[in-house]
Amino acid sequence: MVTPLCMGTMTFGWKPDDWGSTKEVGYEVGRKALDLGINFFDTANVYDRGGCEEVTGKVLQGKRDKVFLATKFHGKMDDNDPNASGNSRRHLIEQCEGSLKRLQTDYIDLYQLHRPQPSIPIDETLRALDDLIRAGKVRYIGTSTFAGWQLAEAHYIARELGTNRFVSEQPPYNLLDRRIERELLPFCRTYNYAVIPWSPTAGGILSGKYLGGMNEGRYSTGDPQNRVNEASQAVVRGLKALADEMRVPLITFCLAWVINQPGVTSAIIGVRKLEQFDDLMKAMDVQFSEEVLKKIDEVIAPGTHVVEYYEANFGPNALPM
């Protein structure tokens, strides 16, 4: 059992700028999350090349057995080694050992493929992950940003091989990109996969902070994917009007919408300042009427998007969605 909000630790390191925070702030944020009762932490080996895992491990000392801890592998960990990335047996076993050391733990509750890699047969990855489970180093396995067909393939290959199967998917999901509603969410609901959305507030865009200009926030220092654009800001304005009617902060409104969607287990939040917790924690108490949900769908239609978040290697024959 996990809390409706998951503490994302991607900002628990790096350099002190608008992207992340200092490690000292990471310690404060992590401990505050524990004090607020959040029992689910999500990190990854590639965040600050292990730095965020190290901070997370220190935060959880003395409370490890009370927390459901998830991490991920796939991203490049060494620019000079062509084998230091991906979903191969070699890389995932090597990175599992590294994550265990950095997190200062004997086991990982949920070990996830950070992205799909069609060039590596999924049975190779599943067998290696199954070995880690049997060795007691990993308890459950999951995926992140998979296409519906890729998750279905893995599901049935695991049944054929008799290995442990994936139990969760971590996709991007917010009110600027709803494409997972087409196939991925229905699959997860049908086969009882946990859904752990990342970027439920679209990296802060859905806080409304950019409506007055690009003066602060993550995208103020760079927006290579052009996510703060005319279309996304039009959606933000429409959602803000609805949030104002409910007298709820916009970021609370948008996060609450995600965690209230059928099939969603826990949404990953990112915090750089302790005061940001206030509006995020309120999301767990917000309920929507059918009338408001209908109005939200009029602002951004189900299954559509105005900003691209749901993007990965969905296979050589995949067409843009």
Q: What are phi and psi of 268, to 5 degrees?
A: -85, 125
End-to-end C-alpha distance for the chain, whole angstroms = 34
CA distances from 228 to 120, 264, 268 (A): 35, 26, 21
Residue 23 · residue 12 · CB < 8 Å: yes
Q: CA-to-CA distance for 98 and 147, rounded, in angstroms?
A: 28
Q: What angle do CA 56, 62, 66 make, to 5 degrees?
A: 80
One-character DSSP codes across 38-88: --EEE--TTGGGGHHHHHHHHHTTTTGGGSEEEEEE-S-S-TT-TTSSSS-
CA R_g for the chain: 19
Q: CA-to-CA distance for 291 and 245, rounded, in angstroms?
A: 12
Catalytic residue IDs? 47
Q: Is 75 left (phi over 0), alpha (psi -120 to 50) or beta?
A: beta
Neighbours of 193 (CB within 10 A): 22
- Where are the alpha helices (H) located in the chain, listed in sequence order? 23-35, 51-59, 89-103, 122-134, 148-161, 184-190, 230-246, 250-259, 276-281, 290-299
Which residues have CB under 8 Å from 241's CB, separation 6+? Answer: none
